[in-house]
């Protein structure tokens, strides 16, 4: 189910106030329809990682398709007052908003693609007033889902083929933090969720058995397992740490033996506290010695990709990883920090003026143009991405310039193949894209991560993937910066 169906039909007010004041400014100036290009991108991979997984596009498309100001929306804006208690917004401007139709052209990188700093995940071209209003919600949707998909992909990579279950809803940042987050976690490769509503909305497999409270509600732990098994004889995973973990395992085995007598098999046990390395090894021994080699061990308790890696190195015998808080909130970096910058504006002669946001640091200066990302492959392996501007084209296809150090160039072999990552999503406001199924997006993520050299995938100090500028674009960017610096001083 789509964002607007589960939320509200129009989300036009889900934006920052300054987008609306600027919109009235452009409109007053008769510049509302002036054509602009904005890029949405981030400056650093999250989690000090080597790559990022794009996510959220399907929700962003839904937002754009349903973009309109309802009568309720403009009625609310009509009564917003300024410091003199006069209305902030003119009636004629609100009438303009009321009849506004989304007419932008949007290109974006499909969900599940590995992306890197400074690459536009999304490019909006159209009337500056519309581009501006859309900044905030597009960032909200893409920043968060991209963040969580990336976190999930890192955990999946660390788990090396083990199953991961997402069950962070209780710690999520609000109901939509749980829903959008679970969707993004699935994009990143998580196999199942505890979130029933996400299961319904996104067709994600559901998992869940029982909590400590189930055990505590019985006088006897073994009785609680036996009762659970009587209700779900083929789907029993017993939580064994309510009182004493290894004693709990023994009781699970006792119940497992009775289940077997009745023609059923215990599916698993879950460890939720204590030393997971030690306990999983001891639990495995107990299970194996009792003939329960196929009973899987599920572990949980504030896990993340670092703990998964560490537990595997310690020889922990964990088959399934249950992950909550650290995934659903991206705990160690809970925001991506994506930005949305004006990059070009069509002047009265119909030509593009390139636009740059200056900064003291070259790394924070935006790149102007109508950007596309060309990705180069050497035998299917990613070797570098070149940003170029579609109105300039490419002069020397095989060479690009380091974005922050013009003395460094990178050349690609003649035998490299390439692909342009941004694909058409909307053409003049008309949808030109069909979102793949969430399962297909998940498959794309897996393929993308696997096509990255392992040096980009390691958790600690990963290799920096090369993203450069096409030569004419680089030159033009330098020219604009120098001109602006001269003018500012």
Please list the alpha-helical segments (H only) found in 82-172: 91-99, 128-159
Stretch that binds a copy of itself, among 202-210, 255-263, 449-457, 458-466 (CB under 8 A): 202-210
Interface pick for a copy of itself out of 140, 367, 389, 442 (rule CB under 8 A)? 140
Q: Which is nearer to a copy of itself, 20 or 159 (CB)?
A: 20
Report in angstroms how near the CB of residue 254 gets to a copy of itself at its nearest: 15
Q: Which of 328, 295, 312, 44 is nearest to 157 (CA)?
A: 312
**Whole-angstrom distance between the N-terminal and C-terminal Cα of the chain?**
53
Helix axes 71-78, 91-99, angle to 10 degrees: 160
Q: Concatenate the DSSP letters of all residues of 380-420 into one string.
A: TEEEEEEEEETTT--SSTTEEE-SS-TT-EEE--TT-EEEE
> Of 67 and 144, which CB lies nearer to a copy of itself in the complex structure?
144
Q: State which of residues 53, 94, 169, 252 lies at the interface with a copy of itself (CB under 8 A).
A: 169
Position among 2, 44, 346, 357 found at the interface with a copy of itself (CB under 8 A): 357
Chain residues 289-328 in contact with a copy of itself, contact rule CB under 8 A: 325
Q: Taking the CB of residue 22, how many other CB atoms lie within 10 A of it? A: 16
Of 108-116, 293-301, 352-360, 430-438: span binding a copy of itself (CB under 8 A): 352-360
- Compute the distance between CA of residue 329 and CA of residue 151 in angstroms, rounded to an integer: 9
Least Å from the CB of residue 166 to a copy of itself: 11
Task: Out of 117, 199, 406, 429, point to the residue binding a copy of itself (CB under 8 A).
Answer: 199
Q: Considering only residues 238-257, where is the footprint of a copy of itself by CB under 8 A?
A: 242-244, 247
- Under rule CB under 8 A, how many of the chain's residues touch a copy of itself? 115
DSSP 8-state code for residue 365: S
Please identify which residue in 358, 416, 438, 459 interacts with a copy of itself, judged by CB under 8 A: 358
Q: How far is the CB of 414 from a copy of itself (least distance, A)?
A: 40
The contact pattern for a copy of itself, residues 415-454, with x = CB under 8 A and - = no contact, is ----------------------------------------
Does 227 contact a copy of itself by CB under 8 A? Answer: yes
251 alpha carbon, distance to own chain's centre: 41
Q: Of 451-470, which residues contact a copy of itself (CB under 8 A)?
A: none
Which positions from 360 through 389 interact with a copy of itself, judged by CB under 8 A? 360
Minimum gap (Å) between residue 456 Cβ and a copy of itself: 25
Distance in Å, CB of 436 to a copy of itself, minimum: 21
Residue 25 near a copy of itself by CB under 8 A: yes
What H or E segment, with its residue span, contains residue 463? none
**What is the per-residue burial (b if ≥16 Cβ within 10 Å, else e) of 52-66?**
bbbbbbbbbbbbbeb
Among 76, 95, 285, 419, binds a copy of itself (CB under 8 A): 76
| Closest CB to a copy of itself among residues 28, 463 | 28
Phi, then psi, of 175 in degrees rounded to 5? -55, -40
**Which sign does the torsion angle of CA 425, 428, 431, 432 carry?**
negative
CB neighbour list of residue 326: distance below 8 Å, 6 or more residues apart = 151, 168, 302, 303, 304, 332
Distance CA 276, CA 272 (A): 8
- Of 236 and 471, nearer to a copy of itself (C-beta) is 236
By CB under 8 A, is residue 139 in contact with a copy of itself? yes
396 exposed, middle or buried (CB, 10 Å; 0-12, 13-18, 19+)?
A: exposed
> Which residues 98-137 are close enough to bind a copy of itself by CB under 8 A?
128, 132, 135-137
Site for a copy of itself in 265-294 (CB under 8 A): 267, 273-274
For the chain, the residue count is 489
Element (H, E) at 482: helix 471-488
Residues 221 and 239: their CA atoms lie apart, in Å, by 10
Applying CB under 8 A, among 39, 123, 151, 355 the residue interacting with a copy of itself is: 355
Phi then psi for 177, rounded to 5 degrees? Answer: -60, -40
Of 419 and 483, which CB lies nearer to a copy of itself in the complex structure? 483
Query: What distance in Å separates the CA atoms of residue 43 and residue 88, rounded to the nearest whole number?
Result: 35
> Strand 114-115 relative to strand 467-469: parallel, antiparallel, unpaired?
unpaired
Q: In this chain, which of 2, 68, 171, 346 binds a copy of itself, going by CB under 8 A?
A: 171
Q: Which of residues 84-103 bind a copy of itself (CB under 8 A)?
A: 84, 86, 88
Among 2, 31, 258, 409, binds a copy of itself (CB under 8 A): 31
């Amino acid at each position: 189910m789509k964002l607007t169906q589960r939320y509200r039909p129009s989300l036009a007010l889900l934006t920052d106030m300054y987008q609306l004041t600027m919109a009235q400014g452009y409109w007053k100036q008769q510049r509302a329809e002036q054509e602009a290009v904005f890029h949405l991108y981030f400056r650093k991979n999250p989690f000090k990682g080597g790559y990022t997984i794009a996510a959220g596009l399907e929700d962003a498309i839904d937002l754009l398709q349903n973009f309109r100001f309802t009568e309720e929306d403009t009625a609310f804006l009509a009564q917003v007052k300024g410091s003199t208690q006069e209305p902030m917004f003119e009636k004629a401007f609100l009438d303009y908003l009321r009849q506004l139709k989304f007419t932008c052209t949007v290109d974006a990188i499909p969900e599940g693609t590995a992306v890197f700093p400074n690459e536009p995940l999304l490019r909006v071209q159209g009337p500056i007033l519309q581009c501006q209003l859309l900044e905030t919600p597009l960032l909200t949707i893409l920043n968060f889902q991209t963040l969580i998909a990336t976190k999930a992909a890192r955990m999946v990579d660390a788990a090396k083929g083990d199953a991961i279950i997402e069950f962070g809803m209780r710690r999520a940042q609000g109901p939509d933090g749980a829903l959008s987050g679970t969707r993004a976690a699935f994009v990143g490769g998580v196999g199942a969720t505890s979130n029933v509503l996400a299961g319904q909305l996104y067709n994600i497999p559901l998992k869940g058995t029982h909590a400590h409270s189930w055990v505590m509600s019985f006088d006897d732990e073994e009785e609680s397992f036996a009762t659970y098994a009587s209700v779900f004889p083929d789907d029993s995973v017993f939580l064994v740490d309510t009182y004493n973990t290894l004693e709990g395992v023994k009781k699970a085995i006792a119940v497992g033996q009775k289940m077997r007598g009745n023609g059923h098999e215990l599916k698993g046990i879950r460890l939720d506290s204590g030393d997971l390395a030690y306990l999983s090894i001891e639990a495995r021994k107990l299970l194996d010695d009792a003939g329960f080699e196929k009973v899987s061990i599920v572990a949980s308790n504030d896990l993340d990709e670092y703990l998964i890696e560490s537990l595997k190195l310690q020889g922990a015998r964990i088959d399934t990883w249950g992950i909550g808080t650290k995934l659903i909130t991206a705990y160690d970096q809970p925001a991506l920090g994506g930005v949305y910058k004006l990059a070009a504006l069509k002047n009265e002669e119909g030509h593009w003026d390139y636009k740059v946001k200056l900064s003291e640091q070259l790394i924070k200066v935006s790149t102007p143009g109508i950007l596309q990302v060309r990705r180069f492959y050497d035998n299917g392996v990613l070797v570098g991405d070149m940003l170029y501007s579609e109105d300039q084209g490419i002069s020397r296809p095989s060479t690009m310039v380091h974005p922050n150090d013009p003395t460094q160039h990178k050349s690609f072999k003649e035998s490299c193949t390439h692909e342009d990552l941004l694909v058409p999503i909307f053409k003049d406001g008309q949808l030109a894209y069909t979102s793949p199924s969430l399962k297909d997006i998940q498959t794309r993520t897996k393929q993308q991560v696997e096509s990255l050299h392992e040096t980009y995938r390691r958790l600690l100090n990963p290799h920096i993937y090369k993203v450069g500028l096409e030569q004419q674009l680089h030159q033009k960017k330098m020219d604009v910066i120098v001109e602006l610096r001269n003018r500012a001083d």
